[in-house]
Structure 1
Amino acid sequence: MLPQEIICRKRDGEALKPEAIREFISALADGTASEGQVAAFAMAVWFRGMDAGETVALTEAMRDSGEVLDWRDIDRPVADKHSTGGVGDDVSLMLAPIAAACGLAVPMISGRGLGHTGGTLDKLESIPGYTINPPSSLFRRTVKDAGCAIIGQTRDLAPADRRLYAIRDVTATVDSVPLITASILSKKLAAGLQSLVLDVKLGNGAFMTDRPDAERLARALVEVANGSGLRTTAVITDMNQPLADAVGNVVEIENCIAFLKGEKAGTRLETVVLTLTGEMLVTAGLEPDQTAAHATAQRALLDGSAAETFSRMVALLGGPGNLLDDPSSILAKAPVILPVTMDEVGYLKACDARGIGMAVIELGGGRTRPDQSIDHRVGFDRLRPLGTWMDKGDEIGRVHARTLDEAAAGAARLRSLYMVGDEAPGPEYPIVGRISE
């Protein structure tokens, strides 16, 4: 069947047969389907959706477009975590080494920025020498020696997803439950995992902005994954403000290093990282319950073993061995770094987290085309959490930019994205819910 016929059927609301989905994904992977046809297919799915059978067929076709890894020579449970994408969401950078220090093997296949959300690979490319696409032999050796490796999709791993992912990013088709489900799970199934934990973001900085949609996505992911033999749970977490106090690439690597050194204790970020790591340990069978798992993850952070694991992973994948010792002399700095001060008095009542992600793109730290290069140095840091009392002239954060004009524009943009009120907002709990079936 021609690609345009498959697009036509989905456009008209038909449920596609598995063989038609396999044909289209095969054409997508080998380049027979044009970029316009892939974009049209994605938009048809966005409008018409897919039923459970179609989503399973799409996921498995994308998984089978390349190789499936085998980790039978690893003497640890093989597990991973995946986020649906947020702003200031650098959880993977800390979670993988903490989980590895606790006894898991974590072969983490990550992606680039998608829409307004930051990408783990873009952050890691801020580290000089770090290889995000290592040979398979180096990937496997890093997982064996360090316990974890965070890399990008290899050429042979779910290649259909790699092309579709880039096209979705620039065609306003990111927030489709079937496309998100197939994209995430095709990579995870191809990675040969034994268990998986999903971090489904909810809020104005997430692709799912209301709870019913987030729960629907979480259930779809868990249902498809478990149906494909991958033991999976999902945690729904809040994304109504940046999770970390930094949004950008270099600044989030700096935040990761500070976290692993124990400098982010008591934050929302720490709660999410330790909750997800604990969920991984329980789902993989290493701990009996979340309480015990949380304590194990906390010890790995406090005793320095997680930081040591991160350092070893970075060095094995080509990065500097002394990154944690002297990050300021290794990571590139933006030419202009300016404080952003408030013009109002009151409590930080709310913010537009999606707008903050878009502001980083406007500074040059994200993409508007799939082939676009980015400036890893730009972004925001020292962001104040909601509920903070601000006097006029207090610093809400800092902008990192290429020029003074861009810094001034970025500062004005950031300032406009926060609402100030006379009363402190109610407490926001970063852990919203859990889906296991």
Structure 2
Amino acid sequence: MQMVEIIRRKRDGETLPKAVWQYLIDGVVRGEIPDYQVSAFLMAIYFQGMNAEETVYLTEAMWHSGEVLDLSSIPGIKVDKHSTGGVGDKTTLIALPLAAACGVPIAKMSGRGLGHTGGTIDKLEAIPGFQTTLSKNDFLKQVREIGLAVVGQSEGLVPADKALYALRDVTATVESIPLIASSIMSKKLASGADAIVLDVKVGRGAFMPTLERARALAQAMIAIGERVGRKVHVLLTDMDEPLGRDVGNANEVKEAIEVLSGGGDKRLVDLTVAVAARMVLAAGGAGSDEEAREKVLTCRENGSALLKFEALIRAQGGDIRVIREPERFLPAARYEEEIRAERDGWVKAIDARLVGEAAMLSGAGRETKAKAIDLAAGIHLERLRGERVRAGEVLARLFAGSRPIPQVAVERLAEAFTIGDRAQDEKPLIYDIIDASSP
């Protein structure tokens, strides 16, 4: 095959057969196709798109481009969960213990944060001693024994995605829905799960800015799942404002423990319960949404979900004292700044992207993959959207552990708040939940 001819065919809007997609991915992984030709092909996809069949062909080629995890030694229907990323998104830390406490076996590979969004592995590493790297045998053994393991993504998993994403990132082709769908689904399929629950974020703090585009992505991933024999459930959820009151790694672990202990912000509780309930439903642990939700709520209320999180921490070498005394045993901040309201009113909006950027600037996130992060850095929101505030009252607090908080971070956080003259109507958190049976 000639790469120039393949580029031309996609540039002109042709549908490419399976053999072409396999040739492309094989060439990318082996380094046989120059970056400039792959980049040209990606741009052709961006403008011409891909049909459902092509998206499946690309996903299958990427899925099998490296190591594929075999979970067959774990009994039951294994369910994976993935979020497209957001600000204050500690959903995985809460939903996984909730679902595992209901009997769902979960073998989870997670990533690190980049830019204004956080990563589950960074959050877990805020727990002293927690090991995010396990051998394959230990990983599988842990899931068989306690029903839950969470590790960093294996370097051998889907090498094609790493190569393609590096080029998409520098060629303005990240936003292509077929490419996003193939990227996410190839990693989930290579991780070996039988069913997948996806939380697709929509809004200012997400990379899907509109509900229309988020729905298109969801439908593309569901279609891939149907073609390859995997159940895919998608929640379309709001990310115009941060999720919960805390942003940052140690902060979010503390808030996750609060929710698993029966407390926490209502929106955060509602979302994590909904995600966990879908995982229970996907695993065959309930016959309806309502039954699944009741099971999850019971596991939260009777303490079994918190015990499951404690078992996860213990199994992976972490200090379980963080469960009872998180303020004492999680990384502590040395520096603090306050954002105060300039007038009386109601919190009209909190811009998730600006909050995420402020957290990153304070040290909680990274602009490049090589950058170290400050596990104690982060933000606590004293006021949420719809809450009353008086002039001079604290809206939010910024924290850092390793260096003073830069003024630009303080300014960015202050800019995130909009104060209005009247109370705001409650905004939807979950726009829709869809799967292969949805109209």
When the two structures are superposed, what TM-score results if normalisation uses the length of structure 2?
0.91
Q: Distance in 1 between matches of 2:398 and 2:6?
A: 47
Q: Distance in 2 between matches of 1:5 and 1:122?
A: 43
Matches within 5 A, 1:290-329: 290-329=289-328
Cα displacement string for residues 300-321 of structure 1 (whole angstroms, at most 9, x for unaligned residues)? 1111111111111122222223
| Aligned residues between the structures | 435
Cα displacement string for residues 178-218 of structure 1 (whole angstroms, at most 9, x for unaligned residues)? 22211221121112212121111112222222221111111
How far has the Cα of 1:243 moved from its partner? 1.0
Structural RMSD (CA)? 2.4
2:183 maps to 183
Matches within 5 A, 1:374-393: 374-393=373-392
1:195 maps to 195
3-state SS in 2 of match to 1:323? helix
Q: Which letter does structure 2 place at the counterpart of 1:410? A: A
1:65 maps to 65
1:246 maps to 246
User: Closer, same or farther in 2 for the Cα pair 1:4/1:410, shift >3 Å?
Assistant: farther
Q: Which letter does structure 1 place at the counterpart of 2:371? A: Q
Q: Distance in 2 between matches of 1:329 and 1:365?
A: 19
User: Closer, same or farther in 2 for the Cα pair 1:355/1:46, shift >3 Å?
Assistant: farther
Q: Decide whether the 8 Å contact of 2:115 with 2:360 is kept in 1.
A: no
Q: Which letter does structure 2 place at the counterpart of 1:389? A: R
Q: Identify which range, 360-369 or 39-48, moves more after superposition.
A: 39-48
Q: Decide whether the 8 Å contact of 2:26 with 2:65 is kept in 1.
A: yes
Cα displacement string for residues 401-431 of structure 1 (whole angstroms, at most 9, x for unaligned residues)? 344451x432221111121111222111211
Matches within 5 A, 1:127-146: 127-146=127-146
Matches within 5 A, 1:9-408: 10=10, 13-32=13-32, 42-165=42-165, 168=168, 173-264=173-264, 267-401=266-400, 402-406=402-406, 408=407
User: Closer, same or farther in 2 for the Cα pair 1:405/1:358, shift >3 Å?
Assistant: closer
How far has the Cα of 1:296 moved from its partner? 0.6
Q: Decide whether the 8 Å contact of 2:346 with 2:423 is kept in 1.
A: yes
How far has the Cα of 1:170 moved from its partner? 6.5
Long gaps (5+) in structure 1:
none
Q: Which letter does structure 1 place at the counterpart of 2:261? A: K
Q: Decide whether the 8 Å contact of 2:248 with 2:375 is kept in 1.
A: yes
3-state SS in 1 of match to 2:298? helix
When the two structures are superposed, what TM-score results if normalisation uses the length of structure 1?
0.91
Cα displacement string for residues 226-262 of structure 1 (whole angstroms, at most 9, x for unaligned residues)? 2210011211111111112112222111211222222
3-state SS in 2 of match to 1:385? coil
3-state SS in 1 of match to 2:150? strand
User: Closer, same or farther in 2 for the Cα pair 1:340/1:182, shift >3 Å?
Assistant: same
User: Closer, same or farther in 2 for the Cα pair 1:172/1:97, shift >3 Å?
Assistant: farther
Identity %: 40
Long gaps (5+) in structure 2:
none
Q: Which letter does structure 1 place at the counterpart of 2:333? A: A
How far has the Cα of 1:79 moved from its partner? 0.8
Q: Identify which range, 346-355 or 106-115, moves more after superposition.
A: 106-115
User: Closer, same or farther in 2 for the Cα pair 1:239/1:156, shift >3 Å?
Assistant: same
Q: Decide whether the 8 Å contact of 2:114 with 2:369 is kept in 1.
A: no
Q: Does 1:436 align with 2:432?
A: no
How far has the Cα of 1:165 moved from its partner? 4.5
Q: Which letter does structure 2 place at the counterpart of 1:433? A: D
How far has the Cα of 1:373 moved from its partner? 2.7
User: Closer, same or farther in 2 for the Cα pair 1:34/1:388, shift >3 Å?
Assistant: farther
3-state SS in 2 of match to 1:66? coil
3-state SS in 1 of match to 2:322? coil
How far has the Cα of 1:385 moved from its partner? 1.6
Cα displacement string for residues 341-391 of structure 1 (whole angstroms, at most 9, x for unaligned residues)? 121221111222122222222223333333333333222123522101111
1:423 maps to 422
How far has the Cα of 1:144 moved from its partner? 1.4
Cα displacement string for residues 91-131 of structure 1 (whole angstroms, at most 9, x for unaligned residues)? 01111111111011011122222443221122222223322
Q: Decide whether the 8 Å contact of 1:167 with 1:370 is kept in 2.
A: no
